[in-house]
Structure 1
């Protein structure tokens, strides 16, 4: 109800002592009664506070009491005349100074009668809003069933209420609506929405944010309704809250269609067909983030992308655009998830651009960058494939060429290990990782120093290469890395 509804009730006889005509249009959410010197714990935002002025001893008391009410965000104060026969001037002055509307309740009208009246009016108004909201939801659900888009319905609701609104994801991607926010504004909105403990969320600039669906839980892939307005009223919040429930149902249907598409996509490898230049993205998660959530995030962030899973469970995405553009988009949008990730981490690699001739090279490069991202600090790491290293260049070669190279240099070693389980490959890897240090390799393998010397000697005999020479050592290192299904 409005403050005006209380003042205009003739049976109550309440008068306005301070407040312009327009303040009577303030919404009142509830009634509170208190005579405590510090009313903060007993009042709430949007309430009409009734007080008998028992707390007043001096003008300083009046100023402090009113200041605390304003800090709590109350709609107005209603003072009783029973104690002093009138409202003291210092109380009126304090309300004028702090711009708090002041009503006066006649001494023959108990607060209980006013509160009972307000409760009845509010209950009736709530029932009317409930019936109106149910009717609106039925209309929206029918419209969605008839094929009308959420974008169309959201635009119609925004025009009806005289506001701008958009539906966005937790990464700041616009799903529907006409409200345009620049990147810094999206950063602020998503950061606040992902960390708040209460909705609706009010932000500077006339922005109100409402959750869609799960509310305060599972915010990593949450959706939010963002409304920009000059002065929002409770009826507007109610209408968009009702609309959010319809959007949540439509999203369930959308997610189901997406899962069906994934089942089809997963039967075939990621493809780069149909375009001259594409970039590969490979992503992995650590913690509680399911693969389905990661896939959904990437498809939202990379508009129009089609994801698949590789043999290790990583998400693979062929994307149109340049390496630099894709990397910037991923860093900006996935970076917005940082406030809500906590113990979870995201690792993303962006592979080099390529044509239809060798799409696997871009995927290998992206997988290598994704693996390297695990070494970065922070919950979100997006890395571009590095072509300024030998391994980076090696990852772009076709699989057949890499396998032929590895087989030519290490084929006899692999066969010897298969027949004898001698551990020559493991010893070679440890020796190279330890920069050719016999002692450190022995400690890493937990074997005697002479065992390492013997095994390395066998590797040299089988390969015809000397690990004392830098060139031969480098060749064997690349061959060893080429044995991996994907260079990491």
Structure 2
């Protein structure tokens, strides 16, 4: 009920003062007080009924009404029994503090106002329950008739005057017109994933309802996201009903996925004609046992496989003989990796120490599908910073092949090859390693290396000679030069030796 609605009730309340916008405030409850300090008795959203007993002189009004405004009162209802009227200083104080002032007749006890509001609220709740039941019946009938979830979300958005989307836990749009941009999706999904409870109201009019699953297992949860610029949707109203019905679609979608997996696994379906990408995904649980439910132990194969479909809806998934969950998808390697990285990073708030790893490898026509999956798995196994690691298995070059090797092995290789050079530089400051890098970058040209480093040609020759002595490699040999090149690059990619 709004303040203006109180004036239309059969209570004979008379408006003494109010700014028009203040009459649209919602009355959440009635408070009756004449205590000298009203703060302990007044809560935000209250219509305060007072007999003005606290007023001993005119100056009291400004202080007392100021306290009511600070407590969050939405209006004041002043009785006339004490003075026979409402004093002008009370009217002026309400005007200064922006509180609507209602004049209560002497014949109307405050208890009658409270009873009347309680009756109206009960009627409102009953209508809301009946309306909710009717809405639920309509939604369930629509489901039984085979209506598409996209149509139901669109109908809800039109009826309520809002925008709405059904999103997976990684931000992939399941239903809803005009998907929100990536920045909005990042904000909404990460906030919902990390929220203590749902539904959740966010800035700019966005609100989120959970769709299925357990709140502890937010990897598989979907979200109904609504942008309600007027803030009129109630947490347990139409959006909650739609979220409950959307859970039926989520369950149906999960069952359809499982059936498609059974069919493809039974037929041992091959990847589509190339070039295609092999994507391998793995979720590594945390070492400790303090993680949230859902990632405190290794997720099941079906959970990981469903997560791949969430991130890459058009993918064809499979489980290889080694038990690895892989997906086949078309597209450019770096673009697919970027999609994986962005969407998987939205899970960060619920990982709680777990690590999500993904590798991408191209499989061209005529190449081995098993080899592409193995390359993607090798890339996924390479450690990195942060809870989400996505790597492309670049096997088109010697260094690209090296990047598929776990970081610890790369460090050991660099240390064995270049360790003596690094130690010599630390003791003498001779700059051998820097000279080697420049020399290799100049394709073994003494002159170019000398010019680039502003050194004498003989100085470069001397330094490279010392590198050859310390490493036991001959830079005139192709295999030895390749060893040193890969060691330098591996050292750049990992921690210093």
Same-fold status (TM-score > 0.5): yes
Match of 1:363 among 355, 360, 373: 373
Match of 2:276 among 275, 278, 283: 278
User: Alpha-carbon deviation of 1:434?
Assistant: 8.5
Which structure 1 segments of 5+ residues have no match? 397-430, 437-467, 476-488
Give, in whole Å, the separation in 2 of the partners of 1:248 and 1:435.
Answer: 56
Aligned to 2:305, what secondary structure does the other structure show?
A: helix
Give the equivalent residue in structure 2 for 1:252: 251
Give the equivalent residue in structure 2 for 1:305: 315
Q: Report if the CA contact (8 A) 1:27-1:233 is conserved.
A: no
Give, in whole Å, the separation in 2 of the partners of 1:214 and 1:100.
Answer: 46
Residues 20 and 65 of structure 1: CA distance in aligned 2, closer, same or farther (over 3 Å): closer
User: Alpha-carbon deviation of 1:148?
Assistant: 0.9
Report matched runs for 1:400-415 at 5 Å: none
Residues 79 and 200 of structure 1: CA distance in aligned 2, closer, same or farther (over 3 Å): farther
Which structure 2 segments of 5+ residues have no match? 286-293, 405-411, 418-470, 474-478, 484-497
User: Alpha-carbon deviation of 1:284?
Assistant: 0.9
Give the equivalent residue in structure 1 for 2:350: 340
Match of 1:325 among 311, 330, 335: 335
Output the TM-score relative to the length of structure 1: 0.70
Report matched runs for 1:143-158 at 5 Å: 143-158=142-157
Q: Report if the CA contact (8 A) 2:65-2:97 is conserved.
A: no
Write out per-residue CA displacement over residues 242-277 of structure 1, whole angstroms, 9 at most, x where no aligned residue: 12111122222222222222333344556322x432
Give, in whole Å, the separation in 1 of the partners of 2:186 and 2:100.
Answer: 36
Residues 125 and 263 of structure 1: CA distance in aligned 2, closer, same or farther (over 3 Å): same
User: Alpha-carbon deviation of 1:140?
Assistant: 1.4
Residues 198 and 357 of structure 1: CA distance in aligned 2, closer, same or farther (over 3 Å): closer
Q: Which 10-residue stretch deviates more, 228-237 or 144-153? A: 228-237
Aligned to 1:318, what secondary structure does the other structure show?
A: strand
Give, in whole Å, the separation in 1 of the partners of 2:40 and 2:319.
Answer: 55
Write out per-residue CA displacement over residues 260-302 of structure 1, whole angstroms, 9 at most, x where no aligned residue: 22333344556322x4321111111123432333322221211
Residues 285 and 367 of structure 1: CA distance in aligned 2, closer, same or farther (over 3 Å): same
Residues 388 and 320 of structure 1: CA distance in aligned 2, closer, same or farther (over 3 Å): closer
Output the TM-score relative to the length of structure 2: 0.69
RMSD between aligned residues: 3.9
Q: Report if the CA contact (8 A) 1:43-1:49 is conserved.
A: no
Give the equivalent residue in structure 2 for 1:78: 76
Give, in whole Å, the separation in 2 of the partners of 1:98 and 1:196.
Answer: 36
User: Alpha-carbon deviation of 1:433?
Assistant: 10
Q: Report if the CA contact (8 A) 2:311-2:343 is conserved.
A: yes
Give the equivalent residue in structure 2 for 1:189: 188
Give, in whole Å, the separation in 1 of the partners of 2:304 and 2:3.
Answer: 49
Number of equivalences: 404
Residues 366 and 15 of structure 1: CA distance in aligned 2, closer, same or farther (over 3 Å): farther
Give the equivalent residue in structure 1 for 2:161: 162
Write out per-residue CA displacement over residues 394-436 of structure 1, whole angstroms, 9 at most, x where no aligned residue: 899xxxxxxxxxxxxxxxxxxxxxxxxxxxxxxxxxx989849
Matched, 1:174 2:184: no
Q: Report if the CA contact (8 A) 1:365-1:392 is conserved.
A: no
Give, in whole Å, the separation in 2 of the partners of 1:98 and 1:269.
Answer: 75
Residues 385 and 127 of structure 1: CA distance in aligned 2, closer, same or farther (over 3 Å): same
Give, in whole Å, the separation in 2 of the partners of 1:41 and 1:299.
Answer: 55
Residues 282 and 220 of structure 1: CA distance in aligned 2, closer, same or farther (over 3 Å): same
User: Alpha-carbon deviation of 1:173?
Assistant: 1.6
Q: Which 10-residue stretch deviates more, 197-206 or 127-136? A: 197-206
Residues 221 and 87 of structure 1: CA distance in aligned 2, closer, same or farther (over 3 Å): farther
